[in-house]
Homo-oligomer: A and B are copies of this chain.
Amino acid sequence: MGLRGRMPEAAPVDDVALGALDCVLGYHVARAAVVTVGLFERHVGERFGLRKVEFSILMLLAANAALSPKRLGQVLLLSPPNLTLLLDRLQERSLLRRERNPLDGRSQNVVLTDAGRALASDAAEAARTMETELSARLSSAEHAMLIELLRKATGR
């Protein structure tokens, strides 16, 4: 989803019954995703020219000494071809580089460049600000509980 063009911003549709949908977690998760994606675009995406996945990749690389594409793909649920393209793009922007793993020539270590580390840091800061914007809707405790429940539902 993601509607710019002709869709009214906040449609007055409170009189439409959700029916069975109301008890379906997935429906509410999908709706929440619309909100969080919009938040991300405004706070991080447009400002730093990063897609959600790209942002996630940068965050993971910033938080871990070295990661192989394989591990990145496992965490973010990305297929190898998909990941190759993503890393290509970030590499073209000189945000990361791929180093050959000296212990196993098949594998490689993906590491942030200095520019990548700087961008990751700025983007992380923007993400923190982004989360505080949610405080208009959720208290800090609710925010934490929501994440905890999602983690539990997800099984991680």
| Contact A19 to B62, CB < 8 A, known contacts A27-B56, A131-B25 | yes
- A115 at the A/B interface (Cβ < 8 Å)? no
Contacts of A143 in B (CB 8 A): 25
From A1, A18, A20, A30, name the one whose CB has the most chain B CB atoms within 10 angstroms: A20
Contacts of A6 in B (CB 8 A): 79-80
- The reply to whether A30 and B52 form a contact with Cβ atoms under 8 Å apart is yes
- Complex CA gap A155/B3 in Å reads 17
A8 on interface, CB distance cutoff 8 Å: yes
**A and B contact pairs by CB, cutoff 8 A, 9 listed:** A16-B64, A18-B60, A24-B127, A26-B39, A28-B147, A30-B33, A30-B52, A35-B154, A36-B153
